[in-house]
Every structure is written in C-alpha cells, then in structure tokens.
Amino acid sequence: MVLPSESENLPAHTEPGLWQRLRRKILGNPVDVKNRRLFHQMALTPVLAWIGLGADALSSSAYGPEEAFKAIGEHTYLAVALAIATALTVGLISAAYSALVENFPNGGGYGVASKLLGEKAGLLSGSALLVDYALTITTSIAAAGDAIFSFLPVSWGHHKLWFEVSVICLLTVLNLRGVRESILVLAPMFLIFLITHVTLLFGGIVMHVPEMAATTHNVSAGFSHGLGMLGWAGMFLLLAHAYSLGGGTYTGIEAVSNALPLMREPRVANAQRTMLYLAVSLAITAGGLLVCYLLWGTKPQEGMTMNAVLATQVGGHLPGGGLFVILILASEATLLIVAAQAGFLGGPRVLANMAVDSWLPHGFASLSERLTTGNGVMIMAASSLAALLYTDGNVDALVVMYSINVFLTFSLTMAGMVVFWWRNRSASGLRRRRLALFSSSLLLCATILVVTACSKFSEGGWVTMVVTGCLVGVCVLVRWHYRSVGKQASQLYAELGALPLAPLGQPALPLKPGNQTAAIMVGAYGGLGIHTLLTALRIFPKYYQQVVFLSVGVMDSGTFKGEDTLEELRLRTQQNLDLYVRLATAMGLPATSRLAFGTDAVDEAERLCLDIKKEFHRTVFFAGKLLFEQERLHHRILHNNTAYAIQKRLQWLGIPTMVVPARITTSPRPPSPPEPVIPPAQVGAVPSG
C-alpha cells in the first residue's frame, strides 16, 4: 500500500490487456475526440447516406411491387394506376420528410412525436421504431439468404440459417468500427444493384416499344371491362387493397430523417439532397417493375419471385441471358444485405435518444472509443438474431411482423407535423402548403396502417403488437425508476445545495504540491458531489489541507451533434467545477480543478488521476456512488459502476481511492439522515463520526 505522503514513479497508464488489444485490432484504434475536424471526417455525404440509408427503401422493391401486383389478380390493367400511385406516394412521403427536417434538424420520428404529440406518443413511436429496425435487419438478411441459396444446390439449404447468422455478426463488427467504414465496405454492392436493375427496366420497356400501341389498347379495353364488372366503387376498393398490401415499398423512407445527426454539415441541405436521391431511385424502380410486369405478362411461379421471373423473361432476349439473371438475383441479395445497414444506423440512434430521455438504460447513450453507439449496435444485433431464430428465417412471416410498425411511426410523425403547422398561425402560403402536404401524407399512411393491421393481424401482425407493447411497458418501468431514484436523492441531500459559495470572481486560495490533498471526483454540481466532499473532510478531520476537484466530460450520443460539441462540453464541465471550487473557497480550503473529456469515463478518469498524483504527491481520491438498500439486478443494469471501476484501476497502481456511498432507501421506513453540514469556520476541526 502506498501511503498518501509518499512520492512514487507512477506508470503513465495501465497497459491494455490481450482482449483489448484484440478488440482494437478488429474494430480499429480509438479516435481522437479532441480533433475539431472529427465530426466532419466521420459524417456522411449525401451519396454515402443514400447508400447507407437509401438501400433499405430500394431493397423493398424486391417484395413490395410484387405483393401489390399479385393482389390485383386478373385485373392486370390496374398495374399502370398502381405504378403511378406508387411513384406519387414515394414522392409525397419523401417530400414530407424532406420538409420535416427543416423544423427538426436533430432528427424526426421519435423526436417529432415526443415534442408535438406528447411523451406517450413519443414512447409509442420510439418503441415501434426499435422493433421495426430490428426486424429490418432480420428481414433483409433472411431475404438475401433466400436469394443466394436459390441458385445453390438444394443439399446446401440446411446451411442457410447459419449463413444469415454469420452475415448479421459481420455487419455488427463493421458497425462497431464506425458508420462511415461500414458504408464504404458495402458501397460496391449498392452500385451493382443500380447497374443491373437499370438494365432490366430499360431493356424491359424498350423491347416492348413496338407493341406499345397494342398494350395501350389492351389496358384501355381491360379498364372498360373491369369497370362494367366491378363498377367504380369495386374497382377503387380493389385498387386501394392492392395499393395497401404493397405498402412495404415505402419502408425505409424515414431512415434519413431518423439518422440526421450522422449527416455532414450543412445537415438539413444534405439530408434533403439524400431524400431526393432516394425518392427518385425508389419511384423509378418500384413503378418501373410494375409496368414491366404488365408488359411482359409476368406471373408468379413457385419457388421464384416475380423479379426472378421477369429477369428470366428479359434475359432470354439478351446475349448471356443466364448470367444476366444470376447478376440480377445476386445484386438483389447484396442490396438486401446493404439494407440491413439501415437498422444498424437508425436503431442505435433511437435507442440513444430514448436513453437520453430516461426511457431506456443510460448506457445506450454511451459512445464507444470509435464514436459509435456500441451498446445500441449490440442490442440491435441480438434482437435481430432472436427474431431470425424465432421465425427460422421465414421472410413471409418477417415482412408481416414489421410492416405494421413502419406505418404506425409514419402516421404518428405526420400527425405531429400537422399539429405543428396547425399551431403556426401565420397567414403565409407556406403554412397552407405544409398543412396540405402533411395532411395528405397522414391520410395515406393511416389508410395503409389500418388495412395492413386488419388483413395481416392473424398472419403475424399480432406478434409485432405484443412485442411493441411489452417494450413500451419496459420503458415505462425504466423511466419510473430513474425518476424515483432522482427524487429520493434530491430530497436526501436537498439542504446541501444551500451551502454558501464564494463570491463570483474571488480568487481561490493557492495550493502547495506537498500538502495533504483530497481529490474529489464530481459530475454536475449537486448533492452527490457535495456529500462526497463533506464526507471526506468528516472522516479525516484536520488532515486534508487542500482540495482538487476533477471531472470527466463524457461524449455520448446526446452531446455528439456537431463540430462545436467538444467546446460546449468543456465549457459546461468547467462551469460545474468552478462551482465546487467556489464552495471550497467559502469553506476556507485552497482548491483547484482539473478536467478531461472523452467517450470512456473510466479511461479518462484514470489518466487524469495519474496526472494529479504526479502534481500533488500526497493525494487520496474520493468518488461518490449511489448505494441502494436492497440492490437488485435492474440496479446494476440501470446504474453504472464507474466509481468502483476507477477505484479498482487506481488501487492496482497503488493509489489510495475511496468510494463514498450515497444511500438510497427502498424500504418504507424513513431514510438515515444525511451527514451534517460543515460550517466554514469548522473546516479542519470536524469531529470524527
């Protein structure tokens, strides 16, 4: 044991262990958060965002148009109306989200519903989004597995599930390395899809140009015949039914809005450009496929998707048609893998935002040393793997499970924006245009939601509703716990906040390197930090002659918003430290402060403590920790053990460290009284307790 009075040659930092070295080899070295250009370097350009976020929407063309076309049955002439309606809907929803980011530059979805419709609506929207993103990963990977194994030997089929598990694990590692890194790896897959499908659609339409007059006549005749058979009402209902069942085409459009903080500045302009790329590419692809189904008379075949049938039909008229079909199917499979990336991008962002609002454990807001929401990435991976194993990779079941939540979040977001512009009493034309835009989008999304929920409830839709409801219940319990603990802590140490501070501008008393020093680890100015200081002075009366307050500004997803984030975090942390120094000065103690910032509180605190120990040799470190009377598993999950982790690190280096408990009672009996407040005149002469 190293005594406080001793001076020792301390190591600069504990050496990383084997696991940490292996992890850094796989995930990459930590990034330097002090680099002011860091956010600009890591943020996404419109093209990269189109690849990383737009793939989710584009991949829906693998199943959305097919479901809509099959729903019209023999009335194939309605494909033209479906194609037009699909393109217009994509444009309308994309325009709505593009307008949304102008008023909510930190992201839509959960934030819009929370602010405009209330916390309960926000909770429902956030929970639905989390389930949706997890199922997006699972559905995309399962569909990719089906596409790949469809042209492999049948005997290999039992390996499909393990292949899908492996792909999810690979994507998890890529996203733990960083958002930009993962998208750069997946970009070639996205480009292959674009090239092959442009060829498919262009060739499929151009080859039928000579027959266009006959096709137009057949469509007109079919429409007249259908009108006589069904009537206007019947035809409209059939078209509306097919249109709603093809609602999977529009999934993923909201991803850009939800991941807006990942965009490069100017974020709003770049996000709107990304939305334009997404809308144009999706409208052309989905609408073009519906038109090609009609032109080529494509019919569903057992064991083949309609896109595969269409590719076979078109490829039969091209040199090397067999290779073309394989490229089409392979490109769809690869795009579906890229589409899973949207779940890894959007899901952790929603988790982090809900954690900042205390709906979920605060650990989900933490950033890794690579500045990724690592905990969120891991929970999305675990959830998607659970869904994959539960459904055995059945794409039909997965599509039904996740389609409902997509339009639930769409509807809540659009309703929130209608409320926003309704409250805006300006008489400008912009208000009228925005109300018309968001009202139309709300009507469309709500219609698709109701039809899908009613028609697919017994086919697996109920599973999504139950899972989402359970998640809402968990969030309510987490929020209740955090509020309950915060209330108890504030009541227990409320009187400590009334201690006098030294006048603003009064210089602190100077410190001497050789004096006995108490180093107090603090966060925000409040009862826990003051309690830690007073306890250190009480249990060691007349011992400590000066105090050093130290704090680590933790960069989490709630603060990592732009290039000026680090400076704002430093200023806020220093302001809290200044209050503690003024408190010690008013008590007659020489005091100073030191700060550090980073993504890992334990690592940064260890470095800071070592520096302080070298500057003030006779130092003992103190940290506060909430202590529950009956600690349960959920206490360990919801509350970090940072104080104990720092204590373990420092004690291993031979540095004396104490953790001061702040007792939180869970029993009905009155809590123990707080430690007595020390009058300034009695500092250094406090009787031991």
pLDDT at 673: 43
Residue 378 burial (C-beta neighbours within 10 Å; 0-12, 13-18, 19+) = middle
Compute the distance between CA of residue 668 and CA of residue 254 in angstroms, rounded to an integer: 47
Cβ–Cβ < 8 Å for 437, 149:
no
- Provide the H-helix boundaries in 493-590: 527-539, 565-586
pLDDT at 63: 72
pLDDT at 525: 84
Integer CA distances (angstroms), 135 to 143, 401, 472, 534, in order: 12, 8, 17, 51
Residues 6+ apart with CB under 8 A from 226: 75, 77, 78, 235
Which portions of the chain are predicted below pLDDT 70? Answer: 1-46, 52-54, 106-108, 150-154, 157, 177-186, 248, 258-262, 302-303, 365-374, 396, 427, 490-497, 554-566, 599-600, 629, 631, 633-636, 640, 665-689
In the block, which residue shows the tokens 């334990």? 602
Domain ranges of the chain: 46-463, 494-682
CATH H-level superfamily of 46-463: Amino acid/polyamine transporter I (1.20.1740.10)
For residue 406, give the 3-state DSSP assignment.
helix
pLDDT at 558: 46
The sign of the torsion formed by the CA atoms of 331, 337, 338, 343 equals positive
pLDDT at 184: 63
pLDDT at 539: 86
Compute the distance between CA of residue 156 and CA of residue 416 in angstroms, rounded to an integer: 49
User: With respect to CATH, is domain 494-682 assigned 3.40.50.620?
Assistant: yes
Residue 516 burial (C-beta neighbours within 10 Å; 0-12, 13-18, 19+) = middle
- For 114, list phi and psi in degrees, rounded to 5: -65, -45
Q: Do domains 46-463 and 494-682 have the same CATH topology?
A: no
Q: Within its chain, how far is the Cα of 500 from the centroid? A: 42
Compute the distance between CA of residue 62 and CA of residue 56 in angstroms, rounded to an integer: 11
In the sheet where 657-664 sits, what is the strand order?
591-598, 546-554, 517-521, 619-628, 657-664
Condensed to tens digits (0 to 9), the pLDDT of residues 520-539 reads 998 888 778 888 898 898 88
